[in-house]
C-alpha cells in the first residue's frame, strides 16, 4: 500500500518525523477552512519571561488555550521542567477530536462527528477536502460517498487527537477539547496560570467577544492567578502582558515586547 501521511503520524507504533507531522497539519483543513499548524519554538522568550511571575505554589496547575497542535505547549512544559518547576499542564483547543477511516488505497481524516472531511490521502497523495482544483472536485464527492457508506455499514473507525504526536503520552500534559468562551465547572478556579497566545487579538474578535473571553478565562484562575496574553507578529517577535487577578481587577506584573494590544481593554474590564 502507498505511504500515507495519516498512517505515518497516527498509525500504531508510528514515530513520525517533524517533517511528516508538519506536512499533515499544514495540509489538513478544519471545518472553518483554516489549517491546523503551529510554528515551533516561537514562544521560547515568552516562556522564559513567564518564569519571573509564576506563583510559588508547587506543583503548578497551568492551562494553555487555543493550542492548535500543542507543540508550543510541549515546549513550555519542557522549559518549566528544565527550570526545575513541578507542574501539570492542560492543553485546550476547539478542534481536538477526529476520526481516522482507513479504506483500500485511501486514508481519510474526519472531524469528531464524521461529518466533515479534514484530509484525504489517496494512493499516497493528499487531497485538499476544501480545495477548488480539478482533482479535489473529482475525488472529494467520491470520498464523501465512501464515508456515508462506511458509516452505514459500520466500518471500524479510529479516534485520534489532532495534536502533535510528541504531546501524546507526555506525562505533564493532558489534552482537552475546549471553548474559550465556555468555562466548564471542572475548570473553575483550578489554575495558577492560564496562557492565551495568538488567540485574543482584534484580528479574530471584536472588543465585546474579547471581553467575554477574558471574563471566562479569569473564572479558571485561582485567586492571584496569572493570565498571559501574547501575540506573535509576522517578524516573529512576541508582544504580551502578564496580568495578575487582583481582587476584582487586574494588575499588569510584566510585559514582553510592546505588551498585549488588548491590555487597555482588559484594564477596562476590571
Q: Are residues 131 and 263 in the same domain?
A: no
Q: Are residues 177 and 237 in the same domain?
A: yes
Spans of the chain below 50 pLDDT: 1
Q: Are residues 175 and 239 in the same domain?
A: yes
Q: Are residues 226 and 167 in the same domain?
A: yes
> Phi and psi for 47 in degrees, rounded to 5?
-65, -40
Would you state the pLDDT for residue 1? 44
Contact between 105 and 78 under an 8 Å Cβ cutoff? The reply is no
Q: Give the separation between CA 105 and CA 131, rounded to whole angstroms.
A: 20
> Phi and psi for 253 in degrees, rounded to 5?
-105, -10
Q: Are residues 104 and 215 in the same domain?
A: no
Q: Are residues 85 and 199 in the same domain?
A: yes
Q: Are residues 125 and 242 in the same domain?
A: no
**97-150 confidence digits (pLDDT tens):** 999 999 988 999 998 888 889 999 998 888 877 777 777 778 888 988 999 999
Q: Are residues 106 and 87 in the same domain?
A: no
- Considering the entire predicted model, what is its pTM? 0.89
Q: Give the separation between CA 156 and CA 133, rounded to whole angstroms.
A: 30
Domain containing residue 71: 44-95+163-268
Q: Are residues 262 and 170 in the same domain?
A: yes
Query: What's the structural domain count of the chain?
Result: 2
Q: Give the CA angle between residues 191, 194, 200 to the nearest 5°.
A: 150
Domain boundary among 161, 189, 209: 161
Would you state the pLDDT for residue 76? 97
Q: Are residues 118 and 224 in the same domain?
A: no
Domain boundary among 113, 146, 161: 161
Burial 147-162, CB ≥16 within 10 A → b, else e: beebeeeeeebeebbb
Q: Are residues 157 and 185 in the same domain?
A: no
Would you state the pLDDT for residue 90? 98
Q: Are residues 9 and 141 in the same domain?
A: yes
Domain boundary among 127, 161, 195: 161
Closest listed residue to residue 255, CA positions, set 230, 225, 233, 237: 230
Q: Give the separation between CA 178 and CA 67, rounded to whole angstroms.
A: 10
Domain CATH for 89: 3.40.50.150
Amino acid at each position: 500500500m502507498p505511504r500515507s501521511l495519516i498512517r505515518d503520524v497516527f498509525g500504531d507504533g508510528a514515530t513520525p518525523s517533524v517533517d511528516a507531522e508538519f506536512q499533515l497539519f499544514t495540509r489538513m483543513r478544519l471545518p472553518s477552512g483554516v489549517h491546523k499548524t503551529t510554528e515551533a519554538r516561537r514562544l521560547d522568550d515568552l516562556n522564559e519571561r513567564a518564569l519571573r511571575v509564576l506563583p510559588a505554589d508547587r506543583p503548578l496547575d497551568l492551562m494553555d488555550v487555543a493550542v492548535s497542535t500543542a507543540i508550543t505547549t510541549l515546549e513550555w512544559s519542557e522549559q518549566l521542567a528544565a527550570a526545575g518547576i513541578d507542574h501539570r499542564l492542560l492543553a485546550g483547543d476547539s478542534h481536538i477530536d477526529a476520526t481516522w477511516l482507513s479504506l483500500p488505497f485511501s486514508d481519510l481524516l474526519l472531524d469528531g462527528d464524521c461529518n466533515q472531511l479534514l484530509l484525504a490521502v489517496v494512493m499516497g497523495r493528499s487531497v485538499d477536502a476544501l480545495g477548488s482544483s480539478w482533482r479535489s472536485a473529482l475525488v472529494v464527492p467520491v470520498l464523501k460517498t465512501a464515508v456515508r457508506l462506511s458509516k452505514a455499514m459500520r466500518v471500524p473507525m479510529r479516534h485520534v487527537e489532532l495534536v502533535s504526536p510528541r504531546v501524546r503520552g507526555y506525562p505533564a500534559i493532558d489534552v482537552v477539547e475546549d471553548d474559550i468562551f465556555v468555562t466548564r465547572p471542572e475548570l473553575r478556579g483550578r489554575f495558577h496560570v492560564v496562557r492565551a497566545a495568538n488567540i485574543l487579538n482584534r484580528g479574530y474578535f471584536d472588543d465585546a467577544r474579547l471581553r467575554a473571553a477574558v471574563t471566562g478565562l479569569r473564572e479558571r484562575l485561582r485567586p492571584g492567578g496569572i493570565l498571559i496574553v501574547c501575540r506573535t507578529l509576522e517578524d516573529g517577535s512576541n508582544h504580551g502582558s502578564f496580568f495578575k487577578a487582583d481582587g476584582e481587577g487586574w494588575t499588569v506584573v510584566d510585559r514582553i515586547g510592546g505588551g498585549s494590544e488588548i491590555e487597555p481593554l482588559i484594564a477596562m474590564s476590571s
